[in-house]
Structure 1
Amino acid sequence: MALSSTDTSRIGNTLAVIRTLRDQGPVARTDLGKLNGISSATVTSISSELLQQGLISERPPETPRSNGRGRPKTLIELKPNAACVVCIKLSINEIQLVVGDFAGQVRHSELHVVPTLTMSADDLAALLEDKISTVCTQQLKGFQRLAGICLAVQGVVSSQSGTVIWSPALSFRNAPVSARLAERFHCSVLLENDANCIASVLAAQSAYADCPNLVVIMLGYGIGMSVLINGVPYLGANGSAAEFGHSKYHPDGALCACGRRGCIEAYASDYALYRAAASHLELPSGDSAHPSEQQMQALTQLALNGEPTVQRIYAEAGRALGFGIANVLALFNPDLVLITGSGVRGFDVMQTAMHSAINDALVAELMGTTRIESCAWERDMTCMGGIALALHATDTQTLLDSD
């Protein structure tokens, strides 16, 4: 039976099956029904349609049970090449392009060093068109369709209008980018804040299933935050909510990349830590304004080894984080504050001062039962989140287009 865009119940059940297969991998039909509260007959009908549309495939039956009782289960899974999405992570002077398949797995990744800080809006749009076009030509052979594109950006974006309002990676403001890319590549284009992409990955993990009110703080070159209230990202009136890094720690204090002084980012980001250390110590040569991972690892190791100046700098960063987190606890009372990002490498040196600042700032009743934890940055979750968001946004159209 072909699906129509008005058959909302049927589409809802079909999307539930697709997303369960994406989250859990191969699943038997009977288990899909139990996981989604759908009857066996409905699951059988849906899977038959998805097989015909080329969106799923069957695995060979499992080995028969030794006692000879019961038929072996046949598992079904998404066909990875049924569709793909492209995620572009835009940060200071570099862009990363990643191709994700229909099952949500990364199939290709490439990094380009580009002068984002000196580009005009037209320059950036032209660059993105060129890089995406090249990826499509070289990497999308074998995929049935390009379902969508996600652009993950540091800073303030309007997902609704597809406009980059402000980003520390760019010299211009209020640039519409989504519409131009959508017209060029004939697919949906999502514009997302990078921290929200990361939060979407973490919120989907079973370890945080009991945390619908979740705050994710991303430490790295800059500092970002995402606030989920009852599982939904809080964006604010124009997408600028949760700009934790640009809230104030010390008025008239250290200079931030945003051009203002005293922001939390001006004390706890990679560039702030390295800048403070470089003013006191002889450090390895490199770009002090945009330190590399190797430079930051070396700096963190100095702190871990007990170098007093660097320890003091990291303690100040911890205090800045702590007073900022205290404000978050008082304002939002989340279930969990989760600290992640590449900058979490230095969390062990920051956390004593951070917790001390929180205790100084808040009475115990305002801290409540909120947990504060760190999450290892073993892989960059920005593009993984962008892939997941793009697939989720385009699944319905992929389903309808496959009829």
Structure 2
Amino acid sequence: MALPSTDTSRHDNTLAVIRTLRDRGPAARVDLGTLNGISSATVTSISAELLQQGLITERPPEAPRPNGRGRPKTLIELAPNAACVVCVKLSINEIQLVVGDFAGQVRHSEHHTVSTLTLNADDLEALLEDKISALCTRQLTGFQRLAGICLAVQGVVSSQSGTIIWSPALSFRNAPISARLAKRFHCSVLLENDANCIASLLAAQPAYADCPNLVVIMLGYGIGMSVLISGVPFLGANGSAAEFGHSKYQPDGALCACGRRGCIEAYASDYALYRAAADPLELPVGDSAHPSEQQMQALTQLALHGNPVAKRIYAEAGRALGVGIANVLALFNPDLVLITGSGVRGFDAMQTAMHGAIDNALVAELRGTTRIESCAWDRDMTCMGGIAIALNATDSQTLLDSQTAREA
């Protein structure tokens, strides 16, 4: 007896239309066909179904052309309120919650100061339930459905099991967290490393379309990395791959937040830079273990304006980065190494020593044609990446839910 068939190509084409509209904004049906290699008839049929399901809307026709030739294009776009997702960014002593609509745009953002290091696993789950529940009550009333939640966490996570393995923001380890939240909110809950969220957002930008083998290094309080091979994140056996910050620069060297010594993070992260500068330099008062942006800006400006102590500290950080990047080049041979994060504020003070360390470590053939660039941190890309990941992961379920609702 033959098994029933499913029109997977139709489903894939529908997802392609949705994601193209999300990436590019309003578009004409004919252009959607060209961009995705789909026939005009198929796009017309798909768009008719999406209109009925309330997932897209039509804009008013464009104004007639001056020469009177050709029919004006009617543009379609995603219906922003058809669904939403929530991204929760967990970092040291702070939780940020962001609502993204079906078109991928941020609709709401809020920050909460929390003593994260004093929480146990049950405390964290209860806190997240409380904050997300309050957010849903206040901010999600205009949306048809909550499609999913993405937790973006500093440190090592297992996306497959939904487990926080280790995070510098938390005092506990190996805590399964996704399942309880999924049961509470009746939607998919994804757990992602914060650097992977950033990399997924950058990889989708046209400027990096020619870089399928991409390495993104995030500088900030800690140091993270994401490796994309042929456009796919390399996660390793349990999600701990690409922990660049905890690879070694100097065995038995400076103390790292992970509890071991000599990690790259122990020289090039915000807390490491500030720790090295706190005694010899006069800097703004604050928590030296968790320096603020004001404190780091003050230190960075000293280095950029020639203070010899600050210059030496940033040069050492640059050498640590360079040694690590040299290993990445030799192991992965990426198209591009992109350095970003809030710590990129000090990149100009690091890069001479960084490039020197790379040149000393590698023969030209191993360095190859890989580009090494910085990317300005003019907005926090973590939650934007988390929104994109959550939407892509839940688009199929949103389609199914909308079809079921229409047939009911």
Q: How many Å apart are 1:141 and its aligned residue?
A: 1.1
Q: Which runs of 5+ in 2 are unaligned?
A: 404-408
CA distance in 2, matches of 1:298, 1:28: 50
CA distance in 1, matches of 2:143, 2:283: 48
- State the shift of 1:5 in Å: 10
Residue by residue over 1:235-257, the C-alpha shift from the partner in whole angstroms, topping out at 9 and shown as x without a partner, is 00010000000000011111111
Aligned-residue identity in percent: 88
| Aligned match of 2:119 | 119
Does the CA-based 8 Å contact 1:94-1:112 persist in structure 2?
A: yes
Unaligned runs of 5+ in 1: none
**Cα distance change of structure 1 residues 400 and 5 upon mapping to structure 2, 3 Å threshold:** farther
Deviations 1:50-76 (A, max 9, x none): 000000000000010000000000000
RMSD of the TM alignment (CA)?
0.9
Cα distance in 2, alignment partners of residues 294 and 77 from structure 1: 41
Give distance in 2, aligned partners of 1:288 and 1:61. 58
Which residue of 1 is the match for residue 24 of structure 2? 24
Which whole-Å CA distance do the structure 2 matches of 1:283 and 1:197 have between them?
32
Distance 1:153 1:333 in 2: 27
| 3-state SS, counterpart of residue 402 of structure 1 | helix
* TM-score scaled by length of structure 2: 0.97
Q: Within 5 A, what are the aligned runs for 1:92-107?
A: 92-107=92-107
- 8 Å CA contact 2:284–2:294 kept in 1: the answer is no
With 263-272 and 280-289 compared, the bigger mean Cα shift is at 280-289
Give a deviation string over 1:176-218, Cα, whole Å, max 9, x none.
0000000000000000000000000000011111110000000
The match for 1:372 is 372
Other-structure match for 2:406: none
> What's the secondary structure of 1:182's corresponding residue?
helix
SS of residue paired to 2:347: helix
Return the alpha-carbon distance in structure 2 between the equivalents of residues 273 and 303 of structure 1. 11
TM-score normalised per structure 1: 0.98
Match of 1:272 in 2: 272
Residue pair 1:5, 1:400 contacting (<8 A) in 2 also: no
The residue aligned with 1:384 is: 384
Q: Could you say what secondary structure the match of 1:212 adopts?
A: coil
C-alpha separation in 1, matches of 2:24 and 2:44: 18
Q: Distance in 2 between matches of 1:6 and 1:148?
A: 25
- Matches for 1:170-209 after TM superposition, within 5 Å: 170-209=170-209
Following the alignment from structure 1 to structure 2, what is the Cα–Cα distance between the partners of residues 142 and 324?
47
Instruction: Render the CA deviation track for 1:306-337: whole Å, top value 9, x for unaligned.
Output: 11000000000000000000000000000000
**Alignment partner, residue 262 of structure 1:** 262
1:236 alignment partner in structure 2: 236
User: What's the offset of the Cα at 1:279?
Assistant: 2.0
Amino acid of the residue matched to residue 148 of structure 2? G
State the match for 2:397 in structure 1: 397
Letter in 2 for 1:104: G
Q: Structure 1 residue 6: deviation in Å?
A: 3.4
Output the amino acid matched with 1:156.
V
1:307-346 maps to which residues of 2 (within 5 A)? 307-346=307-346
User: Structure 1's 102 and 370: CA in aligned 2 closer, same or farther, altered over 3 A?
Assistant: same
Matches within 5 A, 1:207-222: 207-222=207-222
| Offset of residue 93 of structure 1 | 1.0
- Displaced runs of 4+ in structure 1, greater than 4 A? none
Could you say which residue in structure 1 is the equivalent of 2:247?
A: 247
Tell me the alpha carbon deviations over residues 332-356 of structure 1, each in whole angstroms, 9 at most, x when there is no partner.
0000000000000000000000000
Tell me, in whole angstroms, the C-alpha distance in 2 between the residues paired with 1:128 and 1:266. 30
One-letter code of the match for 2:295? Q
